[in-house]
Chain A
């Protein structure tokens, strides 16, 4: 089954709507709580990333009986150095974003930790597409 969500730049207040909706569906499917948690944590982090750094984007979620694939695609500045971005504590978040309690540089590392597969495609000045997969078994 498929879901699509829109992400609005700078709207931290509504962050988590995609992950809440996905969580509800996974509970209906009877997915193990630990896997639901991993999925929700990863999706929320990716959503926050897009809200904080990009100019909006979309989230596409596909669920089958083996796995959930989440694609978070944003239009934004892109990630110039992916290796740096994957390091814990590295962040380019603005002071404003940090003031809201985000931007600790744990986003991508946390996503990696919680997913079984992570693909990041990024073009500077165009945008970033993060593809995350969590297997249920």
Chain B
């Protein structure tokens, strides 16, 4: 692969000892970021958006998400577990939220704080941003980090439509850190650990779009924590943690499709699922859909409960959250919000902390900086694509014939890697004819390969 400046860091990794190079991940990648080289899947860093789709489809569990060492939490006197309600949705309703939190404390955390405490404020920030930008018609939610990256690489013309507000977990980390500092804790003694349902959120913490300081100390994979807590809950003796539940029913539903929309209330669209998101962005880009207002987008089907690190079935988790929200029956926020929200100076500071300064486009399409050269390459690509069989078999190590054609003009592959073109015996000729009929041109054996 040609050396390139890397724009994105990633949390998704390929376990070479498990990967069989079966092409499943490569063929389902929405940005064509994967190739097979040396019999293993490799990832183009600048194309990958950390959507986690490869990990979901891999039949060999060869793709994993790097996480911080759990023991790290003990480096801090105050150990905050920043938990999204998606986590609660993983557990059967017979386990009460306070029992789940008691387990988290037993695991070593000193404070449990739900991310969704701050979603209402984040939506207020959306509204402020929207009011400040009357020239923009369609506002895309910045919540799902995979969507932000997808827009950067595949839909660069839409980067200015993204609301430049950081994620709720960032606000929750700021608030919790401030709360503890109000109580006398020093900044260094506080460790804030976010429990993530997906790869994209880890990447967003480790390699943020914003260059502002993060208050997140580490990230813990949700499946890891789920396994630990589930084991403890199954043991007979259960403790219950007294929790000061100030979440509203709507907060609980935030991770689900429509979660942002229900707090936003204005004109909105809620799109979830990879194919739906791609389709909608394509239409926004072509202006064949005229979306006015907020477009909430989640790359996972059913939103965050469909995240790759969510253990339980997304529809089951969704129902559980809906049941818990109904049970809580708390439509409005009780009056125990963080007190410094009443201080305009503090709000001004926090609003600044929550701003994303810039979202830069990183198109994965551009063939060359020189236009004339790019045209030459595009012409050649079109010719090569015509010569290729168009069956997208992936045997060349690229996801499709079009992708191979692009790799060839970029100098990352050779036409001889196409099994249809590179065939030299009557037996292979017959076999291909048997499978594909007249669709594939019959070749005279030993035909000039350079064609």
Interface of A with B (CB < 8 Å)?
A: 1, 16, 19-20, 23-25, 27-30, 33-34, 36-37, 40-41, 44, 63-65, 136
Contacts and interface: CB of A to CB of B under 8 A. Distances in A.
B278 to A, nearest CB: 12
A65 B370 CA distance: 10
A29 B287 contact: no
B292 to A, nearest CB: 16
Contact of B288 (A44, A65, A136): A44
B287 A30 contact: no
A25 B368 CA distance: 12
A28 B157 contact: no
B370 to A, nearest CB: 9
B156 interface: yes
Nearest to B286: A40
A65 B156 contact: no
Contact of B286 (A1, A23, A27, A34): A23
9 contacts: A16-B288, A27-B363, A28-B365, A28-B378, A29-B366, A30-B365, A30-B366, A37-B157, A37-B285
Interface in B360-384: 361, 363, 365-369, 371-372, 374-375, 377-379, 381-382
Contacts of A25: 378
Contact of A1 (B371, B379, B406): B379
Contacts of B365: 24, 27-28, 30
Given A1-B382, A33-B157, A28 B286 contact: no
Interface in B136-185: 156-157
Nearest to B365: A27
Nearest to A30: B366
**Dominant secondary structure at the B interface:** helix
A114 to B, nearest CB: 10
Contacts of B371: 29-30, 65, 136
Nearest to B155: A33
Nearest to B371: A65
Contact of B157 (A1, A30, A34, A65): A34
A50 to B, nearest CB: 16
A40 B287 CA distance: 9
A29 B285 contact: no
**Dominant secondary structure at the A interface:** helix
Given A30-B369, A33-B157, A63 B287 contact: no
A41 B285 CA distance: 9
B285 A28 contact: no
Contact of A16 (B286, B363, B366): B286
A23 to B, nearest CB: 7
Contacts of B286: 16, 19-20, 23, 37, 40-41, 44
A63 B406 CA distance: 18
Contacts of A33: 156-157, 361
Contacts of A34: 157
Contact of B375 (A1, A23, A37): A1
Contacts of B381: 28
A64 B288 contact: no
B362 to A, nearest CB: 12
Given A33-B361, A40-B287, 20 more contacts: A1-B378, A16-B288, A19-B286, A25-B378, A27-B363, A28-B365, A28-B367, A28-B374, A28-B377, A29-B366, A29-B374, A30-B363, A30-B369, A34-B157, A36-B157, A37-B286, A37-B287, A40-B286, A65-B372, A65-B375
Given A16-B288, A24-B365, A44-B288, A29 B378 contact: yes
Nearest to A37: B157
Contact of B287 (A24, A41, A136): A41
B374 A30 contact: yes
Nearest to A110: B287
Nearest to B402: A24
A44 B361 CA distance: 25
Contact of A30 (B368, B379, B406): B368
Contacts of A64: 375
A43 to B, nearest CB: 10
